[in-house]
């Protein structure tokens, strides 16, 4: 896989000028804490109106909206699993979040897509395991598909950045 198709940055996903950002949403899609709250706040009230029309989203699935006040043209909302020690299909549900989000990006011909760490905040998924799943699923998808042309992993802290950097360097 061409390394130029995957990028890693530390920063604020809501400020990126990309075709789409991924929202680590809850099942209601109506906003919450962490990345979800930040995206809803930055996008403005029209995002909430559009999300209400989507009637929620199942864990492991994804849905797309416009980006409204964001620089990103679209938001792909995906619902990651809550971590229950790894005994409730959390691994495959998180993998499905990446697969579903990437499939939407392919369908909509989204060139640039940015992911936060899904399920790693309040949902408690171990960050190193979540990063491994994110990188593996993304690499697998990109080897078989033209879109998205570039995927950006966006981390907030130094520890997460280093975890992704090591995985991407392999």
pLDDT band at 3 (very low <50, low <70, confident <90, very high): low
User: Over the stretch 47-64, which tens digit does the pLDDT of each residue have?
Assistant: 999 999 999 999 999 999
Q: Are 152 and 8 in contact (CB under 8 A)?
A: yes
pLDDT band at 152 (very low <50, low <70, confident <90, very high): very high
pLDDT of residue 115: 98
Q: What is the CATH number of the domain that holds 149?
A: 3.40.220.10
Domain, as residue range, for 128 = 3-169
Average of per-residue pLDDT across 123-131: 97
pLDDT of residue 114: 98
Question: Into how many domains does the chain fold?
Answer: 1
Q: CA nearest 74: which of 109, 119, 26?
A: 109
User: Over the stretch 82-113, which tens digit does the pLDDT of each residue have?
Assistant: 999 999 999 999 999 999 999 999 999 999 99
| C-alpha dist (Å) from residue 59 to 118, 123, 125 | 11, 12, 14
2 has a pLDDT exceeding 80? no
Q: Are 78 and 62 in contact (CB under 8 A)?
A: yes
Token output for 163: 């975890």
1 has a pLDDT exceeding 60? no
Percent of residues, the chain, with pLDDT higher than 90 = 95
Average of per-residue pLDDT across 14-25: 98
User: Over the stretch 153-162, which tens digit does the pLDDT of each residue have?
Assistant: 999 889 999 9
Q: CA nearest 36: which of 6, 60, 28, 164?
A: 28
CB neighbour burial string for 96-132, b if at least 16 within 10 angstroms, e if fewer? bbbbbbbbbbbebebebbbbbbbbbbebebebebbbb
- Name the helix (H) or strand (E) containing 158: helix 158-169
7 three-class SS: strand
Round the average pLDDT of the chain to a whole number and report it: 96
């Amino acid at each position: 896989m061409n390394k130029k198709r995957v990028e890693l940055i530390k920063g604020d996903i809501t400020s990126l000028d990309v075709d789409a950002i991924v929202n680590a949403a809850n099942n209601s899609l109506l906003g919450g804490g962490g990345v979800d709250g930040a995206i809803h706040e930055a996008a403005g009230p029209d995002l909430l109106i559009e999300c209400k029309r989507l009637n929620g989203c199942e864990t492991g699935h994804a849905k797309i909206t416009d980006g409204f006040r964001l620089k990103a043209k679209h938001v792909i909302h995906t619902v990651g699993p809550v971590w229950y020690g790894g005994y409730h299909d959390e691994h495959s549900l998180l993998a499905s979040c990446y697969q579903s989000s990437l499939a939407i990006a392919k369908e909509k011909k989204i060139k640039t897509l940015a992911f936060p760490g899904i399920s790693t905040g309040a949902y408690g998924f171990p960050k190193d395991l979540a990063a491994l799943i994110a990188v593996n699923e993304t690499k697998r998808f990109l080897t078989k598909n033209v879109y998205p042309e570039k995927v950006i992993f966006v981390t907030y802290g130094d520890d997460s950045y280093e975890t992704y950097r090591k995985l991407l360097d392999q």
